[in-house]
Amino acid sequence: MKQKIKVAVFKFTSCSGCQLPFLNMETELLDLAEAVEIACFAMASSAVHPGPYDVAFVEGGISCARDVERIKMVREQTKILVAIGNCAVHGGPQALRNRLPFDEVKSAVYPQPDLVEGYPTSKGLAEYVPVDGFLEGCPVDKGHLQDYIVSVLQGKAPEVSTRSVCLECKMKNNVCVIVAEGVACMGVVTSAGCGALCPSYDRGCYGCFGPSADPNLSAFSNLCRELGLTGDEVQRKYRYIVSNAKAFREEADKYAPKPGEG
């Protein structure tokens, strides 16, 4: 029998939502169990087998010195390190703090802000260590996790989609909410992968899979203005779930109020 690949799942600064898709695999997990040894996965088992690991799926952003120390340790012990979800890829929803005074942010959230140790920023793993794969989503999609594991088992390079949510939406024969309802749906500039979940329920996409490859953000921003959004509302579209993705961040900056504009 072929030797199993040794897989680990690690959590950094995150809500743990990207670990759940592993547990949600259910029957698929049983199939994978024949080829994969889960060596470390704190949410599923207290048993921790030491590295080295063939693949480490890492959830969470880096937001304190302890995170930096740990991710370097994981990197040293891992052949293929995969960032899973918005936090690990871009820094997560908590990266909203990156452009705000950290003391103010801490005071707004915690009763004893002085006890909070951490960096003023939350960033993706690749800012600190080399990363071999990126799976977008908030949370990550369980199908993408399965495909990644199967690709590693087959010795193939995992496929990375360059499509936008619009393509998936069209494949589902959804009525476009921009056209039908004048909703500023971000599906046009967002990575595919969720199966156009929100537009399938007549809701605009809010970009949780991050920017698609080469998105035309200035055209989307102009469209938002034509649909009646103010400059501040356009800015907020980008500064939401995936605020620290470079393309969204830079487009948001164009619409940020200038000093004195409030």
The residues that touch ligand SF4, with contacts defined as CB under 6 A, are 14-15, 17-18, 59, 85-87, 92-93, 138-139, 165-166, 169, 174, 176-178, 185, 187-188, 190, 194, 196-199, 205-209
Q: Smallest distance from the beta carbon of 188 to ligand SF4, in angstroms? A: 5
Q: Smallest distance from the beta carbon of 43 to ligand SF4, in angstroms? A: 11
**How are the residues of the chain apportioned to helix, strand and coil, as percentages rounded to the nearest 5?**
40, 15, 40
Kindly tell me which of 5 and 215 has the beta carbon lying closer to ligand SF4: 215
Q: Smallest distance from the beta carbon of 242 to ligand SF4, in angstroms? A: 9
Kindly tell me which of 5 and 220 has the beta carbon lying closer to ligand SF4: 220
Q: Smallest distance from the beta carbon of 24 to ligand SF4, in angstroms? A: 13
Kindly tell me which of 5 and 145 has the beta carbon lying closer to ligand SF4: 145
Could you count the other beta carbons within 10 Å of the beta carbon of residue 8? 25
Burial profile 207-240: b = 16 or more Cβ within 10 angstroms, e = fewer? bbbbbbeebebeebbebbeeeebebeebbebbbb
Contact 11, 59 (CB under 8 A): yes
Could you count the other beta carbons within 10 Å of the beta carbon of residue 162? 10
Please identify the residue of the shown chain whose CB is closest to the bound ligand SF4: 187
Report d(CA 16, CA 235) in Å as an integer.
28
Kindly tell me which of 158 and 199 has the beta carbon lying closer to ligand SF4: 199
